[in-house]
Amino acid sequence: MVNREIKLTFRKSDFKEVYYRNNNGHLFLSSTTKKNVKYSCLALTGVIISILLCNYYNEYWAIFIASLFIFGFQLIGLLVSISRLLKWKNSVNAFLDRTSKHQSHSIVISDNAFSVIQDNNEIIAKWSEFKTAEITDQFVGIVGAQNYLIPAKSMNADDYKFLRDTVSSKIKNGL
């Protein structure tokens, strides 16, 4: 195979669509926070029921205090997971801002290496450095010493098919 250069069109919206798919960027519906939101709502319901129970019977205050502690711990867990999500979103946005400052973007694929060229900067990685790849109709993600995510919308359909097929064969063959 001869070196093939693929010109990329950088649009932040294409990358955000991939990064934030499946509600990944949503504060309460992302996979990072969804479980904690459910448990916090359940604990809050327990607090409300225990308040009603305690006021009606004028007893069972230990249940109210226990449910309040449980709610507090759940709320702390929710805040920690929201904090992690916000840090991740900020790092994604910072990466996209840095990348958008470049005027030209392209990929060069050869038998031995995968190169990313942005303006005058070139990053070359041997295929053997990559461990895994995620290939979908929306993007190609390559994981190694350096991770790459390339949206399908950033190139034409023929180039994307070539990229998908090449990454798939190189990763499967362990080259």
What's the pLDDT at 107? 92
The reported pLDDT for the residue numbered 169 is 87
Find out whether 30 and 23 touch, Cβ atoms under 8 Å: yes
Of the pLDDT bands very low, low, confident and very high (cuts 50, 70, 90), residue 140 is: very high
Note the pTM of the prediction, 2 decimals.
0.76
How far is the C-alpha of 64 from the C-alpha of 71, rounded, in Å? 10
Extract the tokens encoding 73.
């711990």
Report the pLDDT value the prediction gives residue 2, as an integer from 0 to 100: 64
pLDDT at residue 155, rounded to an integer: 92
- Rounded mean pLDDT of 61-84? 92
pLDDT at 153: 92
